[in-house]
Amino acid sequence: MLYYLFDYLNKEFNLPGTGLFQYISFRSAAAIIVALLISFVFGNRIISTLKRLQVGESVRELGLDGQKEKEGTPTMGGFIIILATVIPCLLFARLDNVYILLLLFTTLWMGFIGFLDDYIKVFRRNKDGLKGKFKILGQVVLGLVVACVMLWNNQITIRMPYQDAVNGGYKIVETYTTSDNTNLPLKMAYVKSTMTNVPFFKNNNFDYKYLVSFFWDNADNWVWIVFIPIIIFIVTAVSNAANLTDGIDGLAAGTSAIIGMTLAVFAYVSGNTIMAEYLNIFFLPNSSEMVIFASCFLAACIGFLWYNSYPAQVFMGDTGSLMLGGVIAVMAVLLRKEWLIPLLCGIFLVENLSVVMQVSYFKYTKKKFGEGRRIFKMSPLHHHYQKLGIHEAKIVTRFWIVGIFLAILTVITLKIR
């Protein structure tokens, strides 16, 4: 909203300083400041309200040290993250940008699904919360919306040389002429495509239409058959993995902040024509606005850590954890970096795999030997380390360090080909 106000003041009255709002860097920095202020100013009020409404966490008996001390700690603290993400984004981002609209929808939609789960747990006294099939349905709806918009909205395009677009049979949305390194005219095109970046390969482009080109000659008309299920799977997997990671104070929020910072870097280079060309990645027109959303998301996670770091004053609940995973998945998909999710979201992946391995091995051994055996002392993985006697604050810090290491590896994939 402020973008349009200051843009008007700059054009009509040429007021000093109003031109700053044209710069992504300035608006991102301002959004971070506002997001942190919202967290600090309204965080205590939200926590007090949750306590007054007796929105306390009912902790399952897991035999972990300090577990009883957390009984009654307010949950649904994800509202703090949502407010600190949405409000600055509304103020500083361009609201006619399809990427921003998709990310705002993701935040509110997944926050709503998580809220329903927390509401049933707390107010209906049902520890199981929202039935799993309804959670999955909510995630499927989000994946379907994102995939359909990417497939058929003409604001989501990729830039490529005009001749390559013609040869590839891509739908051309817009063309323009620029010059190459020899100052010769070069015709470029913005095209609709399901191409994505594949890390570690020189010509690191992969188009999902290749998966159906063996069955249909006009693959562009049938690519949705594979593209939509893939996007739904990514959104569902990452959202649930973030939910599983939210088990000890500060783990999910801190890990998500690290991932958000990395996605902000990708959004910046993907939306900058010079950087995209230098790094040999897709130039995605208008995607630089996602830097502002990622900045809001990063600051909101950090602001929430003010209250969620050990010992936590509030838990995010599914209101926050489902939203965190959904936002991360959608941003990665929109930036054509979904193949980097296993590396960037390595903490989420390992936490998720630990549960799958534990459950699968237990069922297998119970069937074969008559008694279930376990790989870990407890899953998800962070509980295994708690069972080993490591303090949860140390576990969280070490997971953050691993997350930073994975984030750095993810960024340098831009140059490792």
Given a contact cutoff of 8 angstroms between Cβ atoms, the answer to whether 210 and 219 are in contact is yes
What is the pLDDT, as a whole number, of residue 304?
96
What is the pLDDT, as a whole number, of residue 128?
80
- 350-371 average pLDDT score: 92
pLDDT in tens, 279-326: 888 899 999 999 999 999 999 999 999 999 998 999 999 999 999 999
pLDDT in tens, 248-272: 999 999 999 999 999 999 999 999 9
pLDDT at 42 over 80: yes
pLDDT range class, residue 5, cuts 50, 70, 90 = confident
174 DSSP β-pair partners:
190
Domain positions in the chain are: 2-157+193-339
User: pTM above the 0.85 mark?
Assistant: yes
Given a contact cutoff of 8 angstroms between Cβ atoms, the answer to whether 76 and 116 are in contact is no
